Structure 1
Amino acid sequence: MKSPVALLSSALLLAMSSSVFAASSVDLAVKGLITPSACAPSLSSGGIVDHGKISAKDLRLDGWTVLKSHNLQLGITCDAPTLLALKGIDNVGDAHDPRNSYGLGLVSGKKLGSFSLILSNPIADGAAISMIESSDNGLTWRASIPGDMWPASYLASFGDNTTGRWAPTPVQQVLADLMVATIIAPTAGMDLTTEVPINGSATLEVKYL
């Protein structure tokens, strides 16, 4: 028959080995939610902003050159009222301020410039609605300042503050103005002796909340 001391030692050894085993493993959870609703975004003019040909002599060597802004119309159509947000994805990169704008690529190893997006005048299901934005991936929301750029690192949505805080509202059909503002960086050091394409590209993705 084992003594109480031996039994206690065995129990301690078992507990220690169990603790070591638990510390050597970790759980992985794969989660998500399949929604029956689907939303399709669209842009007028095929989503193309064409600045045409710009003479290199019209670009500033030591300062930024602001090109003419272009206005598009953004539409979103959903199968049913849906909580959603818009996320911008820079397909080219090399923006001078990637948190706020989208890049135009490189020329002679230098960043050519960038473009910014401004959303305004949203109409949801036939009624005016507020533009709202989130800098923390949808945890908190605030009203967008009219006329301010939509930062590339923010989510944009449509909502109200009827509960005392800003939050997205389910929408089924949305129309909004989308202004595209393009600037060219100082051209000193850029080789512009041959034609250089302005090749900005971004994807506007619907994110379901």
Structure 2
Amino acid sequence: MPALHASHRSLLRPLLLCAGLCAAGAVDSANTVPMEITATLTPAACTPTLSSGGVADYGTMSASILRQGQFTTLRAMSMTFSVNCDAAAKFSVKVIDNRRASVVPGIVAAASGDGSLGDDYNFGLGAVAGRNVGGYTIRFMPDTYTGDYQPVRLMSSSDGNIWNNNGNGIASKRLQFSWGSSSGTPDAYKAVSGRLSVQAYINKAENLPLTQDIPLDGSATLELHYL
């Protein structure tokens, strides 16, 4: 069962202000006193959450659904993804594949029929007896998201500097995602919320050990970064 885990990182930005005050007249150790002012500034604290505990549970399925020579497409599962901050903040989300070593090359492109979805979009479903089980995609459903309860646009970036509108919302391991009210500019929000979907694909029957149970063991982390 693919499991998504939300996490966040806080970037600390230190600020050091130093001031020296001295009395008029002769300057020596008897009539001067140093003063230092220090502070640590942090971004607003933001907490990402996923409904259903972040678990897309497909339950128990019969191996008879698998076919020789064909990948098997399971139904899409969806959950709510939210980020809540104690003050308005700009942030992005990056998706990390915790089962990257188990990716079945090309399964997403072949099973979905979309050749543009390379393995950057392909998240691993774990392995059984040395056989990789399959892959899945994660999609931020663009039209469902609101920022502070107003519709917002989903956008993505490969470097955190140049942002483009993202119309399909399918998560790539090389991209980070953010939201804004206008093209190309992430905005600061206290609350962002919308739907996220998982689409799983199972390996060909001949590539799996069908004499034993085969768990779907996908795991990804949604990591929050402050901009």
TM-score higher than 0.5 here?
Answer: yes
Gaps (5+ residues) in structure 1?
Answer: 1-30
Gaps (5+ residues) in structure 2?
Answer: 1-10, 14-40, 106-117
Per-residue deviation, 1:36: 3.4
Residues 82-129 of structure 1 deviation map (CA, whole Å, 9 limit, x = unaligned): 110001111122223541121111234332111111112111001000
Say whether residues 1:168 and 2:183 are aligned partners.
Answer: no
Corresponding residue of 1:127: 150
Corresponding residue of 1:193: 211
**Comparing 195-204 and 183-192, the one that deviates more:** 183-192
Per-residue deviation, 1:185: 1.7
Q: Distance in 1 between matches of 2:225 and 2:146?
A: 19
Say whether residues 1:137 and 2:125 are aligned partners.
Answer: no
Letter of the 2:130 counterpart:
G
- Whether the aligned pair in 2 keeps the contact of 1:102 and 1:115 (CA below 8 Å) is yes
Per-residue deviation, 1:140: 1.1
Q: What is the DSSP-based 3-state SS (H/G/I as helix, E as strand, rest coil) of the residue aligned with 1:45?
A: helix
Q: Distance in 2 between matches of 1:98 and 1:172?
A: 33
Residues 5-64 of structure 1 deviation map (CA, whole Å, 9 limit, x = unaligned): xxxxxxxxxxxxxxxxxxxxxxxxxx9635231110001111111111111121122111
TM-score (norm 1): 0.77
- Whether the aligned pair in 2 keeps the contact of 1:108 and 1:189 (CA below 8 Å) is no
Q: What is the DSSP-based 3-state SS (H/G/I as helix, E as strand, rest coil) of the residue aligned with 1:188?
A: helix
Identity of aligned residues (%): 30
Q: What is the DSSP-based 3-state SS (H/G/I as helix, E as strand, rest coil) of the residue aligned with 1:81?
A: strand
- Whether the aligned pair in 1 keeps the contact of 2:43 and 2:89 (CA below 8 Å) is no
Letter of the 2:208 counterpart:
M
Letter of the 2:73 counterpart:
V
May I ask how many residue pairs the two structures share in their alignment? Answer: 174
Letter of the 1:145 counterpart:
G
Q: What is the DSSP-based 3-state SS (H/G/I as helix, E as strand, rest coil) of the residue aligned with 2:52?
A: helix
Say whether residues 1:80 and 2:101 are aligned partners.
Answer: no
Q: What is the DSSP-based 3-state SS (H/G/I as helix, E as strand, rest coil) of the residue aligned with 2:121?
A: coil
- Whether the aligned pair in 1 keeps the contact of 2:134 and 2:202 (CA below 8 Å) is yes
Per-residue deviation, 1:179: 0.8
CA-based RMSD of the aligned residues comes to 1.8
Q: Distance in 1 between matches of 2:149 and 2:211?
A: 51
Q: Equivalent of 1:155, from 168, 176, 190?
A: 176
Q: What is the DSSP-based 3-state SS (H/G/I as helix, E as strand, rest coil) of the residue aligned with 1:75?
A: strand
Corresponding residue of 2:6: none
Q: Which of the two has greater strand per residue?
A: 2
Corresponding residue of 2:30: none
Q: Distance in 2 between matches of 1:172 and 1:57?
A: 47
Corresponding residue of 1:101: 122
